[in-house]
Amino acid sequence: MSTETILLQRCDSKCELCSSDSNLDLYQVPPDATNDADKCVMICDTCRGQIDQPDTIDANHWRCLNDSMWSQVPAVQVMAWRQLKQLSTAGESWANDLLDMLYLEDDVKAWAESTVPAESDDSTTPTLDSNGAVLQAGDTVTLIKDLDVKGAGFTAKRGTAVRNISLTSNPEHIEGRVNGTRIVLLTCFLKKSN
């Protein structure tokens, strides 16, 4: 029996995502895109078009996932999770609510997440000087207060320029060279030089 025949029997000749009965076609679920029935779903042209071109997504069409996400077929669960994740990221609160309800076995969840790009770590707090200007590695800053440098036995004077600074993992600290000594400075005592 062909994969397509197996899928048509499994889905009762209806789209496994939205239940439409027109223009059905086999869809291989990435990244394990094989012709194995367990790795495929039967979907309509509307669903396929929106999956292939996410910028054309119609959020209301995907409210059908409220039913199809409960399918016992792992490939359908994976597709439902991916679409809900995409809609949730786009700001659809109802999709986020459904995602919270959806339970996937560990192996199915790993499959679902396998093609979702890792979220970039843009949530890092920028390093700001005392005036709120963003500091970058290599910038030059000026001290706005005399600072006692513990352990080095000198005072870094107000107005001293610190060139070619380095950022640290803490956004309130930078590293720089003062009087030939590499020290950590608090950004609240610094002003970015133009």
In this prediction the pTM is 0.59
- Chunk the chain into consecutive blocks of 10 residues (it has 194) and report each block's average pLDDT, rounded to whole numbers: 90 94 91 82 94 89 94 94 91 90 92 69 74 89 90 88 90 90 90 87
pLDDT of residue 33: 66
The token pair that represents 193 in the structure block: 């030089």
Please state the CATH superfamily assignment of the domain spanning residues 141-192 in this structure. Answer: SH3 Domains (2.30.30.40)
| Confidence at residue 46, expressed as pLDDT on a 0 to 100 scale | 93
Pick from 72, 75, 102: which is nearest to 87 by CA?
A: 102
Closest by CA position to 115, among listed 28, 6, 29: 29
Give Cβ neighbours of residue 89 (< 8 Å, ≥ 6 apart): none
Residue 56, helix vs strand vs coil: helix
Domain range summary for the chain, segments of one domain joined by +: 3-113, 141-192
Give the span between the Cα atoms of 94 and 103, in whole angstroms. Answer: 16
In 3D space, the residue among 67, 70, 72, 79 whose CA is nearest the CA of residue 42 turns out to be 79
